Amino acid sequence: MRIGLGAPADGVRGVGVGAVINLFKNDSWLSLRPDGRPAERIAIGWNWDAAGTTLHLKLRPGVYFHDGSLLTPDIAARALRKTARENGGAFTSVTSVSPSGDDAVDIHLKERNAFILTELAGAMVVKPEDENVGTGPFKLDSQDEDGGVLSAFPKYYRGSPALAGVTVTNYPTQRKAWAAMMRGDIDMLYEVSRDAADFVEAEKTVRSYTFERPYYIPLVFNVRHPLLKNPEVRRAIDQAVDREAIVRDGMAGRGKPADGPISPQNWAYSPPPVPVAFNPAEARLRLQKLAGAKLVSASGDAAKLTFTCLVFANDPRFERLASVVQKQLADVGIDMKLQPVPQKDLIHRVGAGEFDAYLFEASGRALNRVYEFWHYSDGGFNNTGYRSADEVLDRIRGTLSDDATIRKDVAALQRVLHEDPPAAFLTWPVTSRAVSRRFDVAPEPNRDILANVWQWRVAAAGQQAAR
């Protein structure tokens, strides 16, 4: 299986080729269901002690690393200690990890932190001494910045893959990746661009698989900004945004309007009590009242609402969406200047708090990601100065297994984010992957097809011709 993706050359580690290769090379300790609940993977059971500060994790038997060694509790404990040292999020609560009998490990925490379970769904099981040695269906043969080659791992615990191997190749743009597929150089287009979606879906030699990504796109505010620090200003921006038009004109219809950072598919999701409605007249009225009350700039002078928004450079997904938002805000008298920057520069500036606003993509499938993004942290990625949601986010993090309480607190979180918005939550993108009809993919409804690549196989000649 030859996979092509189109990604700019100025990306950062963990995005692009490396991230795609990890999908095939590695397995996680737990998996995450579409509703955001953890499910078994390398670990097949878990329970908390009475204090809620020790998590007992039972390991699946018969799991082998790519070097042929067996995953044991001792190796698992060492791997988890290394993961906890090198990662943030819920792992900062981990004080130690110890083997427990012949088939388990105990993760000890300094505080109650329910998010350790969903954090384990994103943590890869790799050999402590070599991160290139995983437990996934394909083992890494070679890798560089332009791609990688993997071969089937016959001792994979769920069964030997039907495909002999996977090759990943990066192209500078999605257009060039699609051209490679039309030439027969690749068998799968990792992501179909919005502009090309209709064309790709009409192509008879490939099949498209569409799904809603568990990511949302927010227009994030720096609440330290002299004008954006006023919640009324942020509410006005929220009302000036027409999310339906953004999906239609900025995303070619491939998305859904967002009402917050929690996916509607999440088991604890609660819609805002009063959904944000597109109301430019009310937005203008709010801004007029603020101007009458001497809405001022940093210099102390009366100011038109003007701010700069950072967007990814050379990424048409964000550039077009940003242009649509810019026009909508201009219609109510807000001047949002767009500043395209390379991805790694945007990430640096956001972490340093050196921005007025920015457009980004953030995960909303699991509550731990919502916590990490919107809870105030001096050293966090999203350095906005926003603190209004901290109390309710801390309550959610500390609740281990009381579903009713978590749902209640998630509803409270939605109210806070509505009344004092840290961002204008815009859309949930919908994306597609395209695969040559020479392959039998066996997709699951509304799931990313890459979740079961180890089960893909070359279709029989008769099946290929019939498709």
What mean pLDDT do residues 232-247 have? Answer: 96
pLDDT value at position 464? 56
Predicted confidence band of residue 125 (pLDDT cuts 50, 70, 90): very high
Query: What gap in Å lies between CA 230 and CA 388, rounded to an integer?
Result: 13
Per-residue pLDDT tens over the stretch 301-315: 445 789 999 998 877
209's CB contacts (< 8 A; 6+ apart) are 432, 433, 434, 435, 441, 443, 449
What mean pLDDT do residues 412-423 have? Answer: 95
- Is 378 in contact with 224 (CB distance < 8 Å)? no
- Is 215 in contact with 361 (CB distance < 8 Å)? yes
Position 275, amino acid: P
pLDDT value at position 303? 52
Per-residue pLDDT tens over the stretch 96-120: 999 999 999 999 999 999 999 999 9
pLDDT value at position 467? 47
Residue 11 reports pLDDT greater than 70: no
pLDDT value at position 294? 54
pLDDT value at position 16? 76
Predicted confidence band of residue 13 (pLDDT cuts 50, 70, 90): very low
pLDDT value at position 298? 46
Sign of the torsion formed by the C-alpha atoms of 180, 186, 188 and 191: negative
What mean pLDDT do residues 313-340 have? Answer: 92
The more confidently predicted of residues 438 and 303 is 438
Position 280, amino acid: P
Per-residue pLDDT tens over the stretch 146-157: 899 999 999 999
The more confidently predicted of residues 291 and 355 is 355
What mean pLDDT do residues 36-44 have? Answer: 96
248's CB contacts (< 8 A; 6+ apart) are none
pLDDT value at position 300? 46
Q: Dump the DSSP string for 26-75.
A: --BSEEE-TTS-EEESSEEEEEE-TTS-EEEEEEPTT-B-TTSPBP-HHH
With tokens 């011709």, the residue in question is 465
Least confident of 38-42, 125-129, 292-296: 292-296
pLDDT cut 90: percent of the chain above it:
71
Residue 299 reports pLDDT greater than 70: no
What mean pLDDT do residues 68-78 have? Answer: 98
CA 21 to chain centre: 17
Predicted confidence band of residue 293 (pLDDT cuts 50, 70, 90): low
Residue 78 reports pLDDT greater than 80: yes
pLDDT cut 70: percent of the chain above it:
94
Residue 59 reports pLDDT greater than 80: yes
The more confidently predicted of residues 172 and 340 is 340
Closest by Cα among 205, 194, 201 to 254: 194
Residue 8 reports pLDDT greater than 70: no
Closest by Cα among 4, 14, 11 to 363: 14
Query: What gap in Å lies between CA 416 and CA 430, rounded to an integer?
Result: 27
Residue 343 reports pLDDT greater than 90: no
CB atoms within 10 A of CB 317: 22
Average pLDDT for the chain: 90
Is 138-191+437-466 a domain of CATH 3.30.300.30? no
CATH of domain 30-120: 3.90.76.10
CATH architecture of 215-429: Roll (3.10)
Query: What gap in Å lies between CA 44 and CA 183, rounded to an integer?
Result: 44
In 153-305, at which residue ranges do the beta strands (DSSP E only) sit? 165-171, 188-189, 206-212, 215-221, 255-257
Q: Where are the domains of the chain?
A: 30-120, 138-191+437-466, 215-429
Residue 387 reports pLDDT greater than 70: yes
pLDDT value at position 296? 47
Closest by Cα among 203, 161, 157, 198 to 181: 203
In 135-264, at which residue ranges do the beta strands (DSSP E only) sit? 138-144, 147-152, 165-171, 188-189, 206-212, 215-221, 255-257
Predicted confidence band of residue 34 (pLDDT cuts 50, 70, 90): confident
pLDDT value at position 292? 63
